Amino acid sequence: MEPLVVLLPLFGALLAMPVGRMWGARASEIITTVLVGLAMIYAWVLFFDVAMGAQHARTIPLFTWIASGEMSASWSVRLDTLSAVMLVVVNSVSFLVHWYSMGYMKEYGETPRFFAYLSLFTFAMLCLVTSDNFLQLFFGWEGVGLASYLLIGFWFKKKSANDAAIKAFVVNRVGDFGFALGIFAILYVFGTVNFNDVFSAIAENAVVTPFGWDAGAPVKELSITFLGHQVHALTVIGCLLFVGAMGKSAQFLLHTWLPDAMEGPTPVSALIHAATMVTAGVFLVCRCSIIYENAPTAAALVTLVGAITAFFAASVGLLQDDIKKIVAYSTCSQLGYMFIAAGVGAYGAAMFHLFTHAFFKALLFLGSGAVIIGMHHEQDIKKMGGVKDLMPFTHLLMVIGTISITGVGVPGLLLFGAPFGASGFVSKDMIIESAFAAAGVGRAVAWFAYGSAIVAAVFTAFYSWRLIFLTFWGKSRAPEHVRKHPHHVPDSMMWPLVPLAIGALAAGMVFYNQFVGANAAHFWNGALYNAPAHAEEVVAAAPDGNAAATEHAAPIEHAAAAGEHEHEPSLIVKWAPFLAMLIGFLAAALHYLRGDPLRRGALAPGGMIYAFLKNKWYFDEIYDFLLVKPALAFGRFLWVDGDQKTIDAVGPDGLAATVAAGARKIVKAQTGYIYHYAFAMLVGIAIFITYVLVRSGGAQ
């Protein structure tokens, strides 16, 4: 039965188009939504069974997928706490997005294709999070890349949508190349791609013999040749895997695809940002936590890139005017927080923020979609204002999402053993405190991460409340026909926002003790490096496909790592995130709630800093100059000078031109006069007779 939690969305993807053709678009919407809804219910059942209940962690092999020599990889469904958390996040958000899309896509048409893509996206992510080896994980990894390409470019007749889809696909190929090299390095060093084999070897510091070596060495001390240098093997593997995570999770340098992905329908943005594609990188690092704990240089790289991303994306979000792009840059920044936590060894905090982030980010995106529909598809917040009078319920929900993402709560106040505050407050503050207390990545990197996180918190509060004030408060700046006749927002778009709002407010407090609090060790049950491991059930599939045999794999013993509570933070450290949030909120309120909200501020148009932030640190321009234009010039050279002027000119075009020129010369001999042809015949006969006579004389 467990594979159904993965397969139900696939069934929806396969049925959407034929059902739509036979019974209409509404039928395809219903069947895909119902199937994902069933997967969501089952995901919660498995979550309580695997993580919250009797700790029935298990792996269910379905069939042997690849077998070559000594290397084999089966297709399995791995159910431990880490995958159970992701199953809940992916299926819950996907179901709400499906439900929401039934109203949002009503006027756009082609809904069977859209819902098929949504369900395919969900299935690919579920394959990723339930994988039991790196090859199966790579299949899901590439699957979400394909589905994101299809969904970002859903309106394929629109050039900007096609360009955005191609950009996302190409940028992710860079990261995926690094990820593929990481998998090759794992196979080279360990001779296997199975998680249990790799992680057990690292935990036991087993002697491994890389491919082609005569003798091996303990894996924690092993060095291999990479780019002409002897490098620590686990460091190479950790860095290469993180390059893949950088691409999928839109980290600094490989982030440029994420804002452009807003060209897809808003429900797509919610699914990408809250539950699927961008969370894959965080999941990968946490799944491979034992690698990063034994490769401090790779962990420091994760922390450093996460810190830079958190600061960079938050700074760019300050001056964005497109409501969806503001929320998109906030995703990029929040992912930076998650990587900070993973880099410093606080994997529980990273997954906790991923979990809470799914609620408030989906809420903000879907709420933004309701605003866009209500405002006749306007996305510029400077052309809105006063929307709370037109859409009071949407305003309330967006404020809840903003309270959560900015981290509103009371530092030091506990309620039932959990910090009192919105979900974002509980999980993000845990990350900032973990960065402050971290030691494994070096104090300089840890302090840089801590400082970047605090500054990013100020920026996050500012741009988040700026969105609320410019969109919902003050006088309306919308055209008169929009003010008098706002577009009707269907109820099917509003109801899915309610559970998201509840999660944005309470999920942090409800699940705090499980993810990072007193019950964390029991909750994670060895799924993360810094939690004690227990035996894992391996359920072998019988020939009829039913779970028939149950074995207990040897437990993977993990050493204690730098957890979230290694040092009790001081009062200043506890209050710093709250004060950062308060500074950002007050700055936004002072500027946008007094006088003309569009008046010139500290960062006025025309200034260097304004241009720098408005143009997103000029990354698109830099990449265009360094990569795109040279590539186009080189391609044009190969096309014009190499293909047309050389190959075609000498080859088929040259031969054709020679034949044509010869034909034109021969044609000139055709005069049309009979006496010319008679003379040519006489000359020919004379030559022929002469030839015969000469041959006859020679024969005699």
Structure confidence at residue 568 as a pLDDT band (50, 70, 90): low
pTM of the model: 0.88
How is 527-548 classified by DSSP, letter by letter?
Answer: SSTTS----EEEEEEPTTSSEE
Q: From CA 275, how far away is CA 125, in angstroms rounded?
A: 9
End-to-end CA distance of the chain: 101
* Residue 692: strand, helix, or coil: helix
Query: Which phi and psi angles does 110 have, rounded to 5°?
Result: 55, 35
Q: Identify the pLDDT of residue 586.
A: 95
Percent of the chain surpassing pLDDT 90: 61
CB contact burial 356-393 (16+ within 10 A = b; e otherwise): bbbbbbbbbbbbbbbbbbbbeebbebebbbebbebbee
**Integer Cα distance of 261 and 441 in angstroms:** 33
Say which residue the tokens 């009503």 belong to: 106
Average pLDDT in the 450-475 region? 94
CA distance 504 to 448: 28
Q: What is the pLDDT of residue 441?
A: 77
CB atoms inside a 10 Å sphere around CB 575:
15
What does the pLDDT read at residue 698?
61
Q: Are 461 and 588 in contact (CB under 8 A)?
A: yes
Q: Name the pLDDT band for 94 (thresholds 50, 70, 90).
A: very high
Neighbour count for residue 495 (Cβ, 10 Å): 13
For 560-587, what is the mean pLDDT?
74
For 111, residues 6+ apart whose C-beta sits below 8 A from its C-beta are 20, 25, 28, 29, 101, 105
Q: 250-259, 288-297, 599-608: which range is least confident on average? A: 599-608
Contact predicate 330/462, CB 8 Å: no
Nearest to 148 by CA among 157, 158, 136, 140: 140
pLDDT band per the 50, 70, 90 thresholds, residue 513: very high
Residues 6+ apart with CB under 8 A from 204: 557
| pLDDT tens by residue, 131-178 | 999 999 999 999 999 999 999 999 998 899 999 999 999 999 999 999
**What are the φ and ψ backbone dihedral angles of 496, each rounded to 5 degrees?**
-60, -20
At residue 559, the pLDDT reads: 35
Contact 435, 299 (CB under 8 A): no
The CA distance from 58 to 56, in Å, is 6
Tens digits of residue pLDDT in 656-688? 878 888 888 777 777 778 877 888 889 989 998
What is the Cα–Cα distance from 15 to 44, expressed in whole angstroms?
Answer: 24
Q: What is the CA radius of gyration of the chain?
A: 31
**340 vs 656, residue with greater confidence:** 340
Question: Rounded to 5, what percent of the chain is helix, strand, coil?
Answer: 70, 10, 25
CA distance 261 to 246: 16
pLDDT tens, residue by residue, 41-51: 999 999 999 98
Please, which pLDDT band fits residue 655 given cuts at 50, 70 and 90?
confident
Q: Are 584 and 465 in contact (CB under 8 A)?
A: yes
Answer yes or no: is pLDDT of 2 > 60: yes
Residue among 167, 125, 22, 140 nearest 75 (CA): 140
- Map tokens 């992701």 to a residue: 86
Q: How confident is the model at residue 700 (pLDDT cuts 50, 70, 90)?
A: low
Query: Between helices 134-152 and 159-190, what is the axis angle to 10°?
Result: 180
Alpha-carbon distance of 323 to 380, in angstroms, equals: 6
pLDDT band of 543, cuts 50, 70, 90: very low
How confident is the model at residue 660, as a pLDDT?
Answer: 82
Q: Is 40 helix (H, G, I), strand (E, B) or coil?
A: helix
| Strand partners of residue 230 | 225
Q: What average pLDDT score do residues 408-428 get?
A: 90
**Residue 208 backbone phi and psi in degrees, to 5:** -120, 145
Structure tokens at 313: 């994306």
Mean pLDDT across 277-285 = 94
- Does residue 130 have a pLDDT over 50? yes
pLDDT at 550: 37
* Residue 236 to residue 182: CA distance in whole angstroms: 8
Indicate the helix (H) or strand (E) that contains 553.
strand 547-553
pLDDT bin (cut points 50, 70, 90) of residue 557 is very low
pLDDT in tens, 481-511: 777 777 788 888 999 999 999 999 999 999 9
What pLDDT is recorded for position 540? 44
Of the candidate ranges 10-14, 195-199, 525-529, the one whose mean pLDDT is the lowest: 525-529
Q: Report d(CA 97, CA 37) in Å as an integer.
A: 11
- The Cα–Cα gap between 78 and 527 comes to 11
pLDDT at residue 393 greater than cutoff 50: yes
User: What pLDDT band is residue 300 in, cutting at 50, 70 and 90?
Assistant: very high
What is residue 431's predicted lDDT score, i.e. its pLDDT? 94
- Averaged over 342-366, what is the pLDDT? 95
> Contact at 8 Å (CB) between 31 and 43?
no
What's the pLDDT at 491? 86
User: Measured at the alpha carbon of residue 154, what is the angle toward residues 309 and 316, in degrees to the nearest 5?
Assistant: 20
pLDDT at residue 457 is higher than 50: yes
Quick one: tokens of 444? 């300089």
Per-residue model confidence (pLDDT) at position 695: 82
Across the chain, what does the average pLDDT equal? 88
Cα separation, 400 vs 327, whole angstroms: 14
pLDDT of res. 671 = 74
**Cβ contact 116:17 at 8 Å:** yes
542 band by pLDDT with thresholds 50, 70 and 90: very low
Predicted confidence (pLDDT) at residue 553 exceeds the cutoff of 60: no
In whole angstroms, give the CA distance from residue 310 to residue 332: 7
How many whole angstroms separate alpha carbon 258 and alpha carbon 262?
8
Is the CA virtual torsion 471, 473, 474, 480 positive or negative? positive
